[in-house]
Structure 1
Amino acid sequence: MPIKKFSWLVASILLVMSLLWASFPAYPSLATPASQSANAPSSTVPEPRLVAQAQLEDEFVLPPLPYAYDALNAYIDTQTMTLHHDKHHAGYVNNLNAAIAQHPELKGVSVEDLLRDLERVPEDIRTTVRKNGGGHANHTMFWEIMTPNGQREPTGAIATAIDDTFGDFETFQQAFNTAGKSQFGSGWAWLIMTQAGTLEVTHTANQDSPFLDGNYPIMGNDVWEHAYYLKYQNRRGEYLDAWWNVVDWEAVNNRFEAVMDALES
C-alpha cells in the first residue's frame, strides 16, 4: 500500500474514533444535585469549598487541630479533645477511605460532592459514605470554627445577617441552643444557609450533614455525648452555653461570606 494512502487511512480511522469517543456520555458529575436526572445540567451556581481539608492525592486525611489539645480546656477538656479528634474523627476518615477504595472511580471526588449527590454513590457503600463522610465534613468544620481566643458575639457580615434574620444575637443563640437540646440522642445543632439564601437554625441526627439536603453548613455544634460527657456528664445545656466561649467568629464569617459569594455569582 502506498505511504500516502496508508497515512490517509490511519487519519480517517483516528477521526472516526475521536467522534465516537466524544459521543459517549460522561460519568455523571457528583456535583450535580441528586434530585436532578442523570441527563439534567448541573447547577450553574459554583459550590463554595466549605471543607477546607478535603483530600491528599486520592485519600481523605485527618486535618490537624489548629490549636493544642488543651487550648480549650476551660470549656472543653483535653482528654475529650484528644479522643474526639484522634479516635472519633480519625475513625470516620479511615472508614470513608475504605469505602471509596472499593470504587476507584470516586477517588478525587470531594466529600461535599459525595454528600450532595449521595444517590449517585454506589448503593453498597452509600450508607457508609453518609455516616463517615458526614462525620468527616462535620468535624472538619467543628475544629475550624473554634479557637482559644473566642469572642462571645459575632462581627462582620455574619453579625448583620443574624440580626436581620433573628432580630438580635441573643434570640439566635437561644434558638441554636434549643436546637441542640431538642436533638434526641446523637446529632448536631446547625446554622445553615439554604439554597434560597436564607439563614436557618436546625438540627440533624447522627452525622447527617446539611449538604445532604443541598444546604450549606455555616456553623455547627456537636451534641454527641463523646463531645462533652467527660466534663459535663448529662448536662448538655451547660455544654451548649459554654461552647459559645470558644467560637471563632472570624472563621464563621469566612464560611458565610464564601457561601454568599457563590450564591450571588
Structure 2
Amino acid sequence: MTIELPPLPYDRAALEPHLSAGAVDMHRGVQNAHIERLQGLVADGPFAQMTLEDIARKAQGSIAECAAQAWACALYWEQLRPAAAGGGGEPGGRLAEALGAGFGSVEEFRARFAQSALRRFGPGWTWLLQRPDGRLAVAVTPQSTTPLTGPDRALLACSLWEHAYVLDYRENRDKYLAAFWQLVDWDVVASRMIPAKAPAPAA
C-alpha cells in the first residue's frame, strides 16, 4: 500500500483568518516529512502493505512514531472546515448529548479541553476520546503518542506542536485554541463516534 500525503479537503488558504496558508503549509510540510521518512523505513518490509493506522498500532520505534504523527495530522485536517463553509459553531445531536453527559455542557467540555492543552508543556496532542463503553473523555499525549495503541476512539485531535500555530500565534496557545474552535467540523467529529447500539427487541 502506498502511503502518501492526502490532499486537503479545502484550499490551503480557506482556513484564514484563523489559520493562515503559511501555517497550513508549515504543518503540512512536517506531515509530509513524516510520510517520506516512513516510506523509507517500511519499504519492502513487513509493514509495506499495511495502512497508516495499522502501522501506528503494530510497529515500534521510529516507524511507529512517524506513522502515528502522519495519522494524527491526517485526522486533524479532516476535522476542520473553513468558517465560511460552516466550521465552528456548536455540536448537535448525539455528540452534544454525550458532551453534556460527560462534562456537564459543551462549554465545560471546551474549557476542560483548553485547560488540558494549556497545561501540557512541550509538543503533543489534546484529544476528545470515546471510551469503549461510549463515555467521552479528554486526554493529552506527549510527542507522537496517540490513542491508537489503547482501547479508546479518537473523535477530535488538536496539535500542540509549535509548527501548528507558531507562525500565526507565536507561543500563544490560548489564541490558537480560540481559533481552533472556529474551524471544527462537528459533523466529522460526530461521525467518528462508535455507532449507538440498537435497543434489544422486546421479549
Structure 2 residue aligned with 1:185, among 113, 116, 122? 122
Equivalent residues in 2 for 1:68-83, closer than 5 Å: 68-83=11-26
**Contact 1:232 1:238 survives alignment (8 Å):** yes
**How far apart, CA to CA, are the structure 1 residues paired with 2:91 and 2:154?**
16
Aligned letter for 1:108?
Q
**Contact 1:228 1:236 survives alignment (8 Å):** yes
Equivalent residues in 2 for 1:1-265, closer than 5 Å: 58-85=1-28, 87-103=29-45, 105-116=46-57, 118=58, 121=59, 126-148=60-82, 149-256=86-193, 259-260=194-195
Superposed displacement of residue 102, structure 1: 4.9
**Contact 2:98 2:135 survives alignment (8 Å):** no
Deviations 1:72-93 (A, max 9, x none): 11111110101211x1111111
The DSSP-based 3-state class of the residue aligned with 1:260 is coil
Aligned letter for 2:70?
H
**How far apart, CA to CA, are the structure 2 residues paired with 1:143 and 1:77?**
14
**How far apart, CA to CA, are the structure 1 residues paired with 2:119 and 2:64?**
22
Equivalent residues, number: 195
The DSSP-based 3-state class of the residue aligned with 1:180 is helix
In the superposition, relative to structure 1, how do residues 238 and 112 fare at CA in structure 2: closer, same or farther (>3 Å)?
same
RMSD (Å) for aligned C-alpha atoms: 1.7
TM-score normalised by structure 1 residue count: 0.70
TM-score normalised by structure 2 residue count: 0.90
The DSSP-based 3-state class of the residue aligned with 2:125 is strand
Aligned letter for 2:30?
H
**Contact 2:26 2:164 survives alignment (8 Å):** no
The DSSP-based 3-state class of the residue aligned with 1:106 is coil
Deviations 1:75-123 (A, max 9, x none): 11110101211x11111111112111151x322222222333x3xx3xx
Aligned letter for 1:72?
L
Q: Which runs of 5+ in 1 are unaligned?
A: 1-57
The DSSP-based 3-state class of the residue aligned with 2:112 is helix
The DSSP-based 3-state class of the residue aligned with 1:243 is helix
Q: Percent identity?
A: 29
Superposed displacement of residue 205, structure 1: 0.7
Aligned letter for 1:113?
D
Deviations 1:33-62 (A, max 9, x none): xxxxxxxxxxxxxxxxxxxxxxxxx22111
The DSSP-based 3-state class of the residue aligned with 2:113 is helix
Instruction: Give 1:11's aligned residue.
Output: none
Deviations 1:144-173 (A, max 9, x none): 000113132111221111111111001000
Superposed displacement of residue 71, structure 1: 0.6
Q: Which runs of 5+ in 2 are unaligned?
A: none
**How far apart, CA to CA, are the structure 2 residues paired with 1:130 and 1:182?**
26
**Contact 1:96 1:132 survives alignment (8 Å):** yes
Deviates more, 1:89-98 or 1:167-176: 89-98
**Contact 1:189 1:223 survives alignment (8 Å):** yes
